[in-house]
């Protein structure tokens, strides 16, 4: 969980390092799970706990289909992914990894939908009144 002030610079730096490393592991196809074969995965964000012992990885499959099944398969293979990370990055402790569906893309689509409604575009096209 993040502090009220947000994640520290260290958490952000380690999270980005993990995001890149996990993306590479998934892109190379290092996992031998039939459920993950031929699946393109976007790793949107990695959030680490303040002690860097846990990492929440937010992923989304290309096209958005079968996201829950993909996340389940990734969580089943998290030990193997963690092992691959240990070979590629140097951290004092290897964080426990938990995968989640990244809903950011859905939120962006909903925002676009709301902004494209007639009443909103009409309000946005209206010029503000000039002050006297």
Domain presence at residue 132: no
Does 83 score more than 80 pLDDT?
yes
Domain presence at residue 1: no
Distance of CA 65 to the CA centre of its chain: 16
Domain presence at residue 121: yes
Residue 91 pLDDT level (bands cut at 50, 70, 90): confident
Cα atoms in the 13 Å half-sphere on the side-chain side of 104: 12
What is the count of structural domains for the chain? Answer: 1
Cβ atoms of 41 and 61 closer than 8 Å = yes
Domain span at residue 38 reads 9-125
Domain presence at residue 4: no
Residue-level pLDDT at 50: 93
Domain presence at residue 111: yes
Does 113 score more than 80 pLDDT?
no
pLDDT tens per residue across span 23-55: 998 888 778 888 887 788 889 999 999 999 999
Domain presence at residue 49: yes
Domain presence at residue 117: yes
Residue 59 pLDDT level (bands cut at 50, 70, 90): very high
Which CATH number characterizes residue 67's domain? 3.30.300.20
């Amino acid at each position: 969980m993040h502090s009220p002030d947000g994640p520290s610079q260290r958490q952000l730096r380690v999270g980005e390092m993990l995001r890149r490393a996990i993306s590479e592991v998934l892109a190379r196809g290092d996992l031998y799970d039939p459920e993950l074969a031929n699946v393109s995965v976007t790793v949107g964000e990695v959030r680490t706990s303040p002690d860097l012992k846990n990492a929440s990885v937010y992923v989304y499959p290309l096209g958005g289909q079968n996201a829950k099944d993909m996340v389940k398969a990734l969580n089943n293979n998290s030990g193997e992914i963690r092992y691959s990370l240990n070979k590629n990055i140097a951290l004092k402790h290897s964080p426990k990894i938990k995968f989640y569906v990244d809903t950011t893309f859905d939120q962006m689509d909903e925002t676009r939908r709301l902004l494209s409604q007639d009443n909103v575009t009409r309000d946005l096209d209206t010029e503000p009144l000039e002050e006297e």
